[in-house]
């Protein structure tokens, strides 16, 4: 394995789409009700968000989507290729996302994890993130009813 540092992390370009979505799928992050192509496109085309990538040689091994809504920073799609887990890459990608957000003046970082995903919750808590006393409410605009 080659040495990897933060300088190896770069923002996604349109040409990265297929590799990014393949990694999201391999990492179990996609859901039938979310369109990963639309998520990728919106993040890459929006000036308030980015998808940060980490490659080893020419292979994409980690991603994190980050954005700043003007009030707080958000993190989505933190993915580490299954063959590269338990090497500190998730922690490295979170550090990159936090640096991206700090550079834009975000005072706070938040993310959402499904309540039954205990391993991921433990991962984020080990990084110093704390559970928030909030309820997330939502409504889909892309479905009738």
- Strand order of the sheet with strand 73-80? 9-11, 49-56, 59-68, 73-80, 109-111
**CATH of segment(s) 6-110:** 3.40.630.30
Burial of 100 (0-12, 13-18, 19+ CB in 10 A): buried
Residue 29's closest CA among 54, 55, 62?
62
The residue assigned the tokens 């938040």 is 110
Name residues whose C-beta falls within 8 Å of residue 7's C-beta, 6 or more positions apart in sequence: none
- Report pLDDT digits (tens) over 37-75: 999 999 999 999 999 999 988 899 999 999 999 999 999
CA separation for the pair 111, 113 (Å, rounded) = 7
* Rounded Cα distance, 131 and 118, in Å: 12
76-114 per-position pLDDT tens digit: 999 999 999 999 999 999 999 999 999 999 999 999 998
Record the pTM: 0.89
Q: Smallest Cα–Cα separation from 85: which of 62, 119, 65, 64? A: 62
What pLDDT was estimated at residue 57?
85
Residues 43, 74 contacting (CB under 8 angstroms) = no
């Amino acid at each position: 394995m080659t040495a990897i540092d933060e300088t190896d992390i770069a923002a996604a370009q349109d040409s990265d789409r297929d590799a990014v979505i393949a990694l999201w799928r391999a990492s179990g992050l996609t859901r039938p009700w979310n369109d990963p192509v639309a998520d990728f496109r919106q993040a890459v085309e929006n000036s308030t968000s980015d998808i940060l990538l980490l490659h080893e040689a020419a292979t994409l091994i980690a991603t994190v989507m980050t954005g700043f809504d003007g009030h707080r920073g958000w993190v989505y799609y933190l993915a580490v290729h299954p063959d590269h887990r338990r090497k500190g890459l998730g922690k490295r990608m979170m550090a990159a996302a936090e640096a991206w957000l700090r550079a834009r003046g975000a005072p706070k970082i938040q993310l959402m994890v499904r309540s039954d995903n205990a391993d991921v919750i433990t991962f984020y808590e080990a990084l110093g993130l704390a559970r928030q006393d909030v309820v997330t409410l939502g409504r889909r605009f892309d479905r009738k009813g």
